[in-house]
Amino acid sequence: MRVVIAGGHGKIALLLERLLAERGDQAVGLIKNPAHVADVQKAGAEAVICDLETASAGDVAVLLSEADAVVFAAGAGAGSGAPRKDSVDRAASVLMADAAERAGVRRFVQVSSMGAGRPPRPGSDEVWAAYITAKTAAEADLRARDLDWTILRPGGLTDAPPTGRIQLAPPPVPGGTVPRADVAAVIAGLLGNPGTRHQTLELVGGDSPVAAAVHSIS
Ligand SMILES: NC(=O)c1ccc[n+]([C@@H]2O[C@H](COP(=O)([O-])OP(=O)(O)OC[C@H]3O[C@@H](n4cnc5c(N)ncnc54)[C@H](OP(=O)(O)O)[C@@H]3O)[C@@H](O)[C@H]2O)c1
């Protein structure tokens, strides 16, 4: 399986690239910064330079021509302001979905966030509100498309080692944290389970082994 990952140098993306390479899949990381090529290659993936805030859907569709699946794992990141929540967390996901449709790539896993799907609480920090608004809009865009999408909403991400044990279910799942390594394992599982298409799933640490949790909702 050839999997194109938007935000290919992100923390989850690098972990996912390793998992895909280990099981014999071909990962392709779309990255903005040429200095990140070596890291992506070290993770076992092909690195392709593509700035998702300036590329056109046509440009990206060309990069998806041989792909079997798309993973949207990009994000504007912790230090960014409201405008980049819109240009990355929303618009770059819309761009990838447009490109997937043009290229005929049906499978699309979107990394969203717990908290998406409803308006930000009144009084929320402006940047957090922009982030949740962007994620909610990206989800709505994807749901409206004729693609085999799965929306994954992790809780708070940590860099702890993988536990291999999670709680994965349609909302509402009580809030919590989850290691990025477990998120990567769940994405790899979702890619291999097309029965999870058209589902919105929330993810935190829990008791269920990853494979069993993914299987149970497919
Ligand atoms: N932090 C949390 O607790 C939390 C919770 C739930 C969900 N999430 C979501 O989980 C996802 C992945 O998280 P993560 O920790 O793996 O994120 P991350 O390490 O910040 O990775 C995001 C990646 O997106 C890339 N990116 C940003 N703008 C880009 C552009 N214009 N073109 C191409 N790539 C671009 C970044 O590249 P550069 O490094 O070059 O900028 C970065 O490599 C994000 O969507 C995040 O919002 C986060």
DSSP string, 136-186: HHHHHHHHTSSSEEEEEEE-EEE-SPP-SEEEEESSP----EEEHHHHHHH
**How far, in Å, from the CA of 151 to the mean position of ligand 1?**
16
Given pLDDT bands bounded at 50, 70 and 90, which one contains residue 3?
very high
Residue 207 has pLDDT above 90, yes or no: yes
- Report whether residue 11 contacts ligand 1, using a CB cutoff of 6 Å: yes
Residue 7 has pLDDT above 90, yes or no: yes
pLDDT of residue 218: 85
Map tokens 């699309």 to a residue: 108
How many helices and strands in the chain, by DSSP H and E?
8, 12
The arithmetic mean of pLDDT across residues 73-99, rounded, is: 98
- Report whether residue 216 contacts ligand 1, using a CB cutoff of 6 Å: no
**How far, in Å, from the CA of 88 to the mean position of ligand 1?**
9
pLDDT of residue 163: 98
Q: Are 214 and 193 in contact (CB under 8 A)?
A: yes
- Report whether residue 75 contacts ligand 1, using a CB cutoff of 6 Å: yes
- Report whether residue 53 contacts ligand 1, using a CB cutoff of 6 Å: yes
- Report whether residue 63 contacts ligand 1, using a CB cutoff of 6 Å: no
Q: What percent of the chain has pLDDT over 90?
A: 98
The arithmetic mean of pLDDT across residues 141-159, rounded, is: 98
pLDDT of residue 98: 98
CA distance 154 to 176: 9
**How far, in Å, from the CA of 32 to the mean position of ligand 1?**
11
Q: Are 168 and 217 in contact (CB under 8 A)?
A: yes
Residue 87 has pLDDT above 90, yes or no: yes
Given pLDDT bands bounded at 50, 70 and 90, which one contains residue 132?
very high
Q: Whose CA is nearest to atom 25 of ligand 1?
A: 7
Q: Please, is 130 exposed, middle or buried when counting C-beta atoms within 10 Å of its C-beta (0-12, 13-18, 19+)?
A: buried
